[in-house]
Structure 1
Amino acid sequence: MNEALRSILSGGDEWYHNSDGRHIKFNKDGTGELWCRSNFNYWILAVIEWKAIKPPHGPSQIVEFPNQVPNTVWNKAPQLLGHLDIEITLTKRLPKVAETSVLAQGNGINERNLTDDAFQTRLFTVRIEKGNFVEPACIGHSNWRYELRLTFDKSPYPPREQWKDTEYGPDQGQYWNIVEFVSRHVPGLEKQGKPMNVAPTGLSACAVS
């Protein structure tokens, strides 16, 4: 099961919270990318290193996920594919696409606005589901549908205390609260009913702030 979940996680597609600037990607070679854009500012544009690990909890322990809502909110429940424990390390390396780009020149990008603690290895438990989803930042404002959802037990973005300056984009975007991502766009999926995810309380839909 873990091998199958790793294959889904690193299937080649990005996992979007918002396809206009906030996504995470896992490559099969243990690398990946984490992006965080606010309007025209990039706060995080970095290579990550990741690996699946043996669960630190027993099989009977229930892992709590933030923003989890009853499946009866929409028309039917998504299919749970499984849980996976992973380690993620944010690095200071830029993705190749950004190495020669003006995107990497921002004063607040990566280590310029993150403390050293943000680059330490962190442990996550993720849940992978199959169903009918929209980008979490665009619930109620988009018909672009995806069939996979990835939910973290805590955000893959650094917590607030690991940002040097949160006054503008970070405090407005509340990136450290983002835990839900979707992947694998399926044309026509919107014809099969309402989306199975709902907007977290207090967050505006389809925002890139």
Structure 2
Amino acid sequence: MNEALCSILSGEEDWHFDEEGRSIRFNKDGTGELECRCNLNYWILAELEWKSVKPQDTESSPTLGSSDQTTTVKNDSSQPELLGKLDLEMTLTRRLAGRARRWAELHPENEKYMNQSLTDDAYWTKSYTVRIERGNFIQPCYIGHQSSDTQRYSVRLLFDKSPYPPRPEWKNPQGGPDEGQFWDHVEFVGRAAPDSARRQRPMNGPTASSWNNCVVS
């Protein structure tokens, strides 16, 4: 079952909080990329390493298809369908994301600063639990501000804590990081939905539960 969920996780080119610059990518080979851009400034544009791990308490982590994961959403078309949960270990690296090498050649000072903005703790391996859901979603950055023509997505990825480093792991969080509150980003979407999905209300609106909640700054 983990293999099927990992295939969904790595099947999207990017999972977006904001398609304009805050995204995460998981590659099938256990590498990935974390991007954090705001107001034309890159704060993070780095490779990451990831792997799926078995939960420590298997009794409290039901497998896909169990009643705990499916019955609460199966008969309610207004709620997302839970596809399953994954426990991950992720390690942010100081390596520049492959797609950014041309950018780095043109902006060497920005690249240098980017690798100096985080403390060493940001590069430790961390554990996460993620939920993968199917439904009708907007980019989390638009929650509370969406219009009828907002792009819709059919898969959502929810972290128990943000893949972006928490505030104490930023050397100088004042300014851009504090304004963006990147460490609060726990929701990402992928797989563009058909245009017809725009006629329905998105499932990640401001009335969602605490798992789905995302504050836009």
Q: What is the TM-score of this pair, normalised by structure 2?
A: 0.83
Matched, 1:147 2:154: yes
RMSD (CA atoms) = 2.2
Match of 2:141 among 131, 134, 137: 137
Equivalent position to 2:109, from 105, 109, 128: 105
Say if 1:2 and 1:166 are closer, same or farther in 2 by CA, change over 3 A: same
Instruction: Determine the structure 2 residue equivalent to 1:122.
Output: 126
Identity of aligned residues (%): 51
For residue 145 of structure 1, report the CA deviation from its aligned partner.
0.3
Larger Rg: 2
In structure 2, how many angstroms separate the alpha carbons of the residues matched to 1:49 and 1:130?
25
1:63-114 per-residue CA deviation (whole Å, 9 max, x = no partner) reads xxxxxxx98xx97111000000011100000112212313563177543100
What residue in structure 2 maps to residue 18 of structure 1?
A: 18
Unpaired stretches in structure 2, ≥5 consecutive residues: 63-71, 207-212
- Work out whether residues 185 and 214 of structure 2, in 8 Å CA contact, stay in contact via their aligned partners in 1: no
**1:78 pairs with one of 80, 86, 103:** 80
Q: How many residues align?
A: 195
CA deviation after TM superposition for structure 1 residue 193, in Å: 1.2
- 1:66: which partner in 2? none
Q: CA deviation digits over 1:107-145, x for unaligned, max 9?
A: 775431000110010000000000000000012325200
For residue 55 of structure 2, what is the aligned residue in structure 1?
Answer: 55
- 1:29 matched to 2:42? The reply is no
Matched, 1:91 2:93: yes
Structure with higher RCO (Cα < 8 A, 6+ apart): 1
Whether contact under 8 Å (1:42, 1:108) holds in the other structure is: no
Task: For 1:38, give the aligned amino acid.
Answer: C
SS in 2 for 1:3: helix
Runs of 4+ in 1 over 3 A off after TM superposition: 102-105, 107-110, 199-202
TM-score, structure 1 normalization: 0.86
